[in-house]
Amino acid sequence: MRGLLTLLVTIVFGVICAGAAAVSEAKELDKHCVLRPLGPGKDDTDQVEAAIAKCGHFGTTVFAPGQYNITRKMIWDLVSSRVDLHGYLNFKPDPEYWLDPNNTYRVVFIQNQASWFVLTGHDFVVDAHSSGGINGNGQTWWSYYGNRTRQDGDGRPISLTLSNVTRGVVRDFRIEAQPFWCNTVADSRDVVYDGMYCNATNQDPLYAGQNVVPNTDGINTYRSDKVTLLRWDITCGDDCLAIKGNSTNILAKDITCRGGNGIAIGSLGQYANLPDIVDNLVMEDLKLIRLDSRVQPNLVSGVYLKTWTGSVHGSPPTGGGGGGGYVSNVVARRVSFDPVTVPIHLYQTNGGHSGDNASTLQFSNLTFSDWTGSSLRNTIVDIECSAAVPCPNIRFHNINVTPPNGTVPGYKCVNVASEVGLPACNATGTL
């Protein structure tokens, strides 16, 4: 009898404890924080950080419309939570402050890039409702660097960095005037960007007709798996998308690129001791638009793929080379574009010199299908693979690209082990 009574007491006590835990968890999930801007000239950083600290785990944080003035670097650690960002995080326009290494994070290993705003954590949604996001005040930066030298890793901050994220969603987010890369996702998996707008448009008449907004890439992916990019609209002076090393299972769909260098896979092979892998990349419904040359003169490629050579020259972030790895199972389909310099381009001589060793990073299983547009040169396809690792299984289908008037389309294939779909493209050869 005493044993039965003890068992009943234990069960009842367990039920009470479980119920209390459930109530406690429900209260945690019910956490709700609402912010409003403090007003012009006032610093919102403290109230933003306090709200995220309180509701960033198992809660909801709502930003009312307006400008939130941010004056220092910031990390949001989000767990099973939601952020509704109806306003803009306005990062103060002070290049000298942000270029101090103490004032940014270095969570992105590739080229030692700086970040002023980092999202990390798991199972979260950040929704800007197409009415909020980040104001990067890029014009101050572009004019500041008008007569200064830019270098990789020099401290210009990435506008929005996702680092060590699992199952994160960024939705309908706007980034106005990114000073440098608009987005980076690094060391993450199961990430969805559903609706992203980046706009690097120079307004300084002193630099009209020049590309004064270099390195304003839409995104760089790095060391990340299962990343989805949907509904992107990118105005930039560099890579619309840049798929960098160890990016696997990537989908990019419904991407509009306005100006810049095109969509890049690379550069790869910069780090001699760190192999770069890009595997299972699908890009579809891509549109590249040429802007008024007074605003942005560049529209270089449709899709281009690049590696460093097999020799090492200096060290990252500005030098390097000699890295191996591979790129395989890449599809680029339903691509339309205004006149570009080279629609499809692959080269393995980035940062190289005459007499360098050939790259050991191999490209294989690349498919380009349903391309329409025009080229400023008669070379429509320029595939120049490494002599050390020729490219097998390069496939083309329905490539309808118009060369300049009075010319016939040309196709260049160097060190291509096997190719299907192009007329008069030499399947093998050497430079």
Give me the active site residues, please. 238
Rounded CA Rg of the chain: 25
Say if strands 113-115 and 105-108 run parallel, antiparallel, or are unpaired. Answer: antiparallel
CB 399 within 8 A of CB 421: yes
The per-residue b/e assignment along 47-81, b for 16 or more CB within 10 angstroms, e otherwise, is bbbebbeebbbbbbbbbeebbbbbeebbbbbbeeb
Which are the contacts of 140, defined by CB distance < 8 A and separation ≥ 6?
93, 94, 95, 179
Output the CA–CA distances (angstroms, integers) from residue 416 to 17, 102, 162, 213, 390, in the order listed.
67, 47, 37, 35, 5
Give SS3 for 79: strand
* Structure tokens that stand for 97 in this block: 């402050």
CA atoms within 13 A on the CB side of 215: 20
Q: Determine the Cα–Cα distance for residues 168 and 122; give it in Å rounded to an integer.
A: 6
Output the CA–CA distances (angstroms, integers) from residue 264 to 81, 183, 382, 424, in the order listed.
33, 15, 14, 26
Beta sheet of 105-108, edge-to-edge order: 105-108, 113-115, 157-158
Q: Determine the Cα–Cα distance for residues 292 and 136; give it in Å rounded to an integer.
A: 23
Q: Which of 373, 371, 372 has its CA nearest to residue 395?
A: 371
Q: Which residues pair with 189 in a beta bridge?
A: 166, 225
Q: Determine the Cα–Cα distance for residues 258 and 288; give it in Å rounded to an integer.
A: 6
Which are the contacts of 405, defined by CB distance < 8 A and separation ≥ 6?
none
Cβ count near 309 (within 10 Å):
24
